Structure 1
Amino acid sequence: MKLRNNFQIYFAAGTALLQAAQAATCNLKPSYSAPVVSNGWQAQLVANGLRSPRGILFDSKGNLLVVQQGLGIVQLEFDDGGSTCLDVSKKTYLINSTLLNHGIAFSADGKTLYASSSDSVYSWSYDASAGTVGDTNQTLITGMSNDDHTTRTLLMSAKEPGTLVVSRGSNSNIDLEAEDINTGHSQIKAFDFSNLTSTSQPYDFKSEGRLLGWGLRNSVGVAEEPLTGGVYSVENSADEIDRDGVDIHQNNPGEEMNYHGFLNASTENQGGNYGYPYCFALWNTSIPDLGTMKVGSQFALTQNATINDTFCADERVPPRLTFFAHMAPLDIKFLPNGTEAFITFHGSWDRTEPVGYKLSTVAFASGSPVAASDSQTAAVDIMANADNSVCPDQCFRPVGLALDSKDRIFMSSDATGEIYVLAKTGASATTTSGGASPTSTKKSTGVRLEVLIWTWGLLALAVAVVFL
């Protein structure tokens, strides 16, 4: 009897797995040339038809919440066939709002949902099982309205529960008001929500909160390193710049990865000025009168008695890493073991030959980047467009990242209204070309899963015939 019962249990489990694999067809294809995936990775388009998807985040039940810029928040449930074989099984519109544009976060218990507009941060009660939000929302932070750079990235700290990090960019390309710390422009701050009540007055971003850094032109991506708790951001630097009247905008300034100390421990560099609007990170060193400066050195656009290269080097916090100019990093997410940080590069507009439009990874160890601060090879491509010359019109433009419980990477593309998923295959992921196309890889994954399940079923049936 015990053998019979065990067989029935195993057969039922195998049947359920087979049904799941059959339910996920994994057949979505982009309307443009399939992305190029690095060796050691596979990728699949799993959702389309969205409107400008930006920030994405998994809830406690494994459903993906997506901020659609100017539309609101939608919840996606998936049929999961394993690896990168997933299909959307259900779409639920949670919040309809033309104000929400990018930021999203959850409380530590997953019962409070946070989202942002250009001016404010809001919260709703959230039920992951039911897929519902409360009827009303609470305004938690105000005073962030800008004419430009209107996204407000949100990060709920895992190391200091109840602390929400908020990033606000500049009001223009070269925003001279950012020089004044009291304006709140180009800053990252942390706010304590642990003691908030439904009647609490909203924080004012300009005058309240814990300053993590200022002089940060537009740090859209913000993340907490999972082992040490160090806070890192990735910054979009300035466009159309010249240095002492010489046009250097094609390859300068570099985009930045900056470090902002800890929320629960050391405050190294915390609250420091990172240079903007006067000092920028050097990427291409082939410009006049640089002296001994190298990649990542802070330089000034003009030289005068007050603001010059010496001032920038001595008085401003340099980046931990510098990336190619104009690639526009928009998100950063860490593996739970802290060995990699994934970065989306939304892509350039201020350059003759387009760059970016890709997902890359940066190696980390002991809470810091492995590469030296002047490295030009720290970012290794995982997924890129086959031909950047057709960008931004005929290619994906990555924005938000989210990791699920299986360490699969989900990535939004706002220009194409899509969500991709990526997973490691076990091979070395060190090249930036080659690899299987997303569609073919997915189909073969689903087929292998079905073969394995049917093989298991036949073996189980053979055992039953022998022993029952």
Structure 2
Amino acid sequence: MGPHSTLAGVIALAALLVTDVSAQSCPGVTGRFQPKMGSGYRYSVLATGLRNPRHIAVDAAGNLLVAEAGSQAVRRLVLQDQGDIVCVQSNTQIISGSTNHGIALSADGKTLFTSNLASVTAYSYDAATGQVGQARPIVTGMSFQGSHPTRAIATSKWSPDTILVARGSQSNIDTLAVDRAAARSMIKTFSISQGLQAAHDYATGGEVLAWGLRNIVGMTEDPVFGGIWSVENQMDDLRLNGRDIHNDNPAERLSYHGILNDTENRYKGLNYGYPSCVPAWDPQNVGIDGLLVGSLFKPDNVPNVDANECANNRMTGRLHFHAHTAPLDIKFNKNSTAAYIAFHGSWNRNPADGYRVTRVDFADGQPVHHVTSRTAQVPVMENSNIGACPMNCFRPVGLAFDEKGRLFVSSDSSGEIYVIYGA
């Protein structure tokens, strides 16, 4: 082959690559960043210009519902396949002044729930038309002046009358959270039908599913095995015996809470330790003999508890993640062989970490990796230049699968929605 033939081959290959890149963009949509994708995955940018999009949901007709914290609104994106990607056919605000984070649909898809600092609200919902009914608060009494205003919510197909509502701590170290009656740093379950008749008070109503969880921002139900899972943002600025150990401790946490309709659920009501006990990510840095990844220990300036209480009488997570990476959502694929987790990214460590979507592999309803593993995460979508974070990168928040196995990802910092194919 001569030099001209070689050059022609290079030009032809370049043309194919350009065509492939352009095929990943919807008309009029230009993403701000070019994510680095894990093996077997590709992406497209679905939407830009949203106002602080947080959690998202796919309705029964395949439309994407987006909770915009920036405008406290819900938007309905009607989607349409265009070649090998999906694009937005129409974008309409369907609810205003309703949310700052959470969104969920009932098991039958006919009721839409949103959450904000103070309450959870329900609306009748028609997926075909996007019509919503009158706002009906079903859980109230959650407001306080503090550092964690999100109220993650999730619904169940295994227990269709149940909604889960998480309420975080009032501050980094919330000393009152040692009292279960404070109704902070916990996940509670509520009857939807009863809430539609008369709103539940968060503090006095419902049932405690789990507590001692500093700030739960994402929850989900395993679609095949029925288990409830949460991802937790743990303590900042950690010190032990006057020594600063915060850069690599404590671990962020994935926790298991059993099956809601299991009358003998042994995980129901367990205490996970916060604020007195936190999980280790880098045990050597902590410096306590025998400590493993995920082991609970007592740091400085927390409510007094005997060290044995942390080791023996508090529940540990099922998997653990790099300190301060801030997991904000978790969703399973259709056959429950993997859970995908959105890490919003750190502000309390140097260098920065997180700012990615990863996969955790599952088998028979549980992660395949041991609780002490530091290698359970498989890269799916990452920032190409994490050194530019947090100011100049995408920051994943919400996740949602559609029936075709496409994974939608919101980025609040950039006002974008991405789609991951191959999940």
Q: How many residues align?
A: 399
Question: 1:196/1:180 Cα in 2 relative to 1: closer, same or farther (>3 Å)?
Answer: closer
Cα distance in 2, alignment partners of residues 257 and 394 from structure 1:
28
Please name the residue that 2:4 is paired with. none
Percent sequence identity is: 44
Q: Is residue 244–residue 303 contact of structure 1 (8 Å, CA) maintained in 2? A: no
Question: 1:160/1:288 Cα in 2 relative to 1: closer, same or farther (>3 Å)?
Answer: closer
Please name the residue that 1:225 is paired with. 222
1:23-422 map, 5 Å? 25=26, 28-32=29-33, 34-71=34-71, 72-83=73-84, 85-97=85-97, 99-134=98-133, 136-146=134-144, 147-197=146-196, 200-265=197-262, 266-287=264-285, 289-302=287-300, 307-422=305-420
Matched residue type, 2:290:
T
Question: 1:368/1:288 Cα in 2 relative to 1: closer, same or farther (>3 Å)?
Answer: closer
Determine helix, strand or coil for the equivalent of 1:74.
strand
Determine helix, strand or coil for the equivalent of 1:286.
helix
TM-aligned CA deviation for residue 29 of structure 1: 3.1
Determine helix, strand or coil for the equivalent of 2:285.
coil
Question: 1:304/1:202 Cα in 2 relative to 1: closer, same or farther (>3 Å)?
Answer: closer
Cα distance in 1, alignment partners of residues 64 and 286 from structure 2:
49
Determine helix, strand or coil for the equivalent of 2:419.
strand
Q: Is residue 43–residue 420 contact of structure 1 (8 Å, CA) maintained in 2? A: yes
**Which stretches in structure 2 are left out of the alignment for 5+ residues?**
1-22
Cα distance in 2, alignment partners of residues 126 and 47 from structure 1:
23
Please name the residue that 1:464 is paired with. none
Please name the residue that 2:5 is paired with. none
The structure whose Rg is larger is 1
Deviation digits for residues 50-87 of structure 1, max 9, x if unmatched? 0000010011111101000042001001221244x222
Question: 1:25/1:315 Cα in 2 relative to 1: closer, same or farther (>3 Å)?
Answer: closer
Matched residue type, 2:47:
A
Matched residue type, 1:95:
I
TM-aligned CA deviation for residue 270 of structure 1: 1.3
Matched residue type, 2:392:
Q
Cα distance in 2, alignment partners of residues 288 and 169 from structure 1:
25
Q: Is residue 26–residue 44 contact of structure 1 (8 Å, CA) maintained in 2? A: no
Matched residue type, 1:232:
W
Please name the residue that 2:3 is paired with. none
TM-aligned CA deviation for residue 196 of structure 1: 4.9
TM-aligned CA deviation for residue 31 of structure 1: 2.3
CA RMSD of aligned residues (A): 2.0
Q: Is residue 255–residue 323 contact of structure 1 (8 Å, CA) maintained in 2? A: yes
Deviation digits for residues 311-330 of structure 1, max 9, x if unmatched? 20111101111100000000
Matched residue type, 2:38:
S
Matched residue type, 2:204:
S
Question: 1:288/1:372 Cα in 2 relative to 1: closer, same or farther (>3 Å)?
Answer: closer
Please name the residue that 2:14 is paired with. none
**Which stretches in structure 1 are left out of the alignment for 5+ residues?**
1-21, 426-468
Cα distance in 1, alignment partners of residues 289 and 164 from structure 2:
38
Deviation digits for residues 191-239 of structure 1, max 9, x if unmatched? 1113554xx2210111111211000000111011122211110100011
Determine helix, strand or coil for the equivalent of 2:246.
coil
Matched residue type, 2:29:
L
Question: 1:390/1:159 Cα in 2 relative to 1: closer, same or farther (>3 Å)?
Answer: same
Matched residue type, 1:78:
L
TM-aligned CA deviation for residue 126 of structure 1: 1.1
Matched residue type, 1:315:
N
Deviation digits for residues 17-69 of structure 1, max 9, x if unmatched? xxxxx9x846633224x110011000111100000000100111111010000
TM-aligned CA deviation for residue 305 of structure 1: 12
Q: Is residue 280–residue 286 contact of structure 2 (8 Å, CA) maintained in 1? A: no
Question: 1:214/1:304 Cα in 2 relative to 1: closer, same or farther (>3 Å)?
Answer: closer
1:441-460 map, 5 Å? none
